[in-house]
A and B are shown apart, each in its own frame.
Chain A
């Protein structure tokens, strides 16, 4: 029996996490935020896949990796529509969506070049003042960083 050539060549995972509906251009930000480059588990990335919702989407399959909710919410800034499937024994046992937290610590860069966080070794910290149209208020300089100016550290 030969495998159909149109079939996706990404294999299913036995236990782990699938992160779907990541905007394709945010894939590397997600990798960075979750520190996936430092994991020694089996990880499959797919990107520039067709998506009705996002145009081009990316997907990450992580074998034997489970996140706690707080860690996962950190990706909400760059992938607000991400969906998570928790897999146990090849079956989806739980589905989750991400939620933007009220405070963003050490993820994003402050847009203000005169901010202390861009001038000394100070961890960035923001309060989320708007979740729909992302707007982050810097804890230090009190300036707003919005979606267009968002840079991931």
Chain B
């Protein structure tokens, strides 16, 4: 994994994933190990994503590393018409690793082919966001003590939700059973079901929360966005169907945890926040440790 860019979750084998998750445990014990004191890392955010950028910068700063970069491209030469290629080639000279967020899909793969330093993809449009997937998996492993043989419910926008797609691909190494809950318009694309079929994994599709939620180990919530609907009548009909409320948790398993990539809007009612099963804020904290593991692993320090 040394010097290898992380663009897509498919770049990491099952072994690579497990190694990152084990490393992250060590960073959780001590997030202030001074491992990056001789490193400069660039965070290039061509579109704003405050949460992801702060998580990376916190991960780097706590390890004693220096951060250079920008938080949106409006004040940079991108505005003057500089190509991505030129920006990446130039910034490669100034740092040991580039963390990059860009609205164009495939931009991170392209950057990894022209940069002289490794690229960590922090989101390329609707395509990939692999560090999110790894922190989701860290959260699953930490709360369930295993990744194997779990029952995962994915709820909301399963058509466009990249976090859902990447998590599905990554968890399919671990004999997961999936339950997909979404409106018809936002069903999981066929290509992912084909992937599960090929691996012989079990999955079920529902259009609303069912009594089966009592079997869930993990409920992974995502936002159902209005702009995804071609028919707004349809949106009005379904918008309240995919909201998780505290009373719905009564019959769920003791070990069950609710995850959400955040930001949340209204799909998890605030009355859930104080419930022991709500895990989404801790999940965000786990992102720091997971990113520390990823960065030090790619830089060849751990």
Residues of A within 8 A of B (CB): 112, 114-117, 119-122, 138-144
Contact B125 A114 (CB under 8 A): yes
Contact B191 A116 (CB under 8 A): no
Contact B83 A114 (CB under 8 A): no
Known contacts A121-B83, A142-B8; 9 further A-B pairs (Cβ under 8 A): A114-B103, A116-B110, A119-B104, A120-B104, A120-B110, A138-B106, A140-B110, A141-B124, A141-B127
13 A–B contacts, CB within 8 A, in A order? A114-B105, A115-B105, A116-B84, A116-B105, A120-B83, A120-B84, A120-B110, A122-B110, A139-B109, A140-B109, A141-B105, A142-B8, A142-B106
Q: Is B253 an interface residue (CB 8 A)?
A: no
Contact B126 A114 (CB under 8 A): yes
Contact B83 A112 (CB under 8 A): no
Contact B83 A140 (CB under 8 A): no
Complex contacts, A115 vs chain B, CB 8 Å: 104-106
Residue on B with the closest CB to A138?
Answer: B106
Complex formed: what's the CA distance from A37 to B160 in Å? Answer: 42
Complex formed: what's the CA distance from A143 to B165 in Å? Answer: 13
Complex contacts, B8 vs chain A, CB 8 Å: 142
Complex contacts, A121 vs chain B, CB 8 Å: 83, 85
Complex formed: what's the CA distance from A122 to B88 in Å? Answer: 14
Q: Binary interface profile of B, 262-276, with partner A (CB < 8 Å = 1, else 0)?
A: 000000000000000
Q: Which of B85, B124, B126, B191 contacts A120 (CB 8 A)?
A: B85
Which 7 A-B residue pairs are closest in the complex by CB-CB distance?
A140-B106, A141-B105, A141-B106, A116-B106, A116-B107, A140-B109, A116-B110
Complex contacts, A119 vs chain B, CB 8 Å: 104
Q: Is B128 an interface residue (CB 8 A)?
A: yes
- Residues of B in contact with A, size category: 10 to 19
Smallest beta-carbon distance B168→chain A, Å: 14
Residue on B with the closest CB to A140?
Answer: B106
Contact A114 B104 (CB under 8 A): yes
Complex contacts, A138 vs chain B, CB 8 Å: 106
Complex contacts, A122 vs chain B, CB 8 Å: 106, 110
Residue on A with the closest CB to B191?
Answer: A144
Complex formed: what's the CA distance from A4 to B60 in Å? Answer: 84
Contact B128 A116 (CB under 8 A): no
Contact A143 B105 (CB under 8 A): yes
Complex contacts, A139 vs chain B, CB 8 Å: 106, 109
Within 8 A of A (CB), among B156-202: 191
Smallest beta-carbon distance B44→chain A, Å: 15
Contact B104 A142 (CB under 8 A): no
Complex formed: what's the CA distance from A144 to B191 in Å? Answer: 9
Complex formed: what's the CA distance from A120 to B88 in Å? Answer: 13
Complex formed: what's the CA distance from A47 to B228 in Å? Answer: 45
Residue on A with the closest CB to B126?
Answer: A114
Smallest beta-carbon distance B82→chain A, Å: 11
Complex formed: what's the CA distance from A141 to B84 in Å? Answer: 15
Residue on B with the closest CB to A118?
Answer: B104
Complex formed: what's the CA distance from A122 to B299 in Å? Answer: 28
Contact B104 A116 (CB under 8 A): yes
Complex formed: what's the CA distance from A81 to B126 in Å? Answer: 36
Complex contacts, B191 vs chain A, CB 8 Å: 144
Contact A112 B109 (CB under 8 A): no
Complex contacts, A142 vs chain B, CB 8 Å: 8, 105-106, 127-128
Complex formed: what's the CA distance from A24 to B126 in Å? Answer: 38
Within 8 A of A (CB), among B99-145: 103-107, 109-110, 124-128
Complex contacts, B85 vs chain A, CB 8 Å: 120-121
Complex contacts, A120 vs chain B, CB 8 Å: 83-85, 104, 110
Complex contacts, B103 vs chain A, CB 8 Å: 114
Complex formed: what's the CA distance from A138 to B191 in Å? Answer: 14
Smallest beta-carbon distance A126→chain B, Å: 12
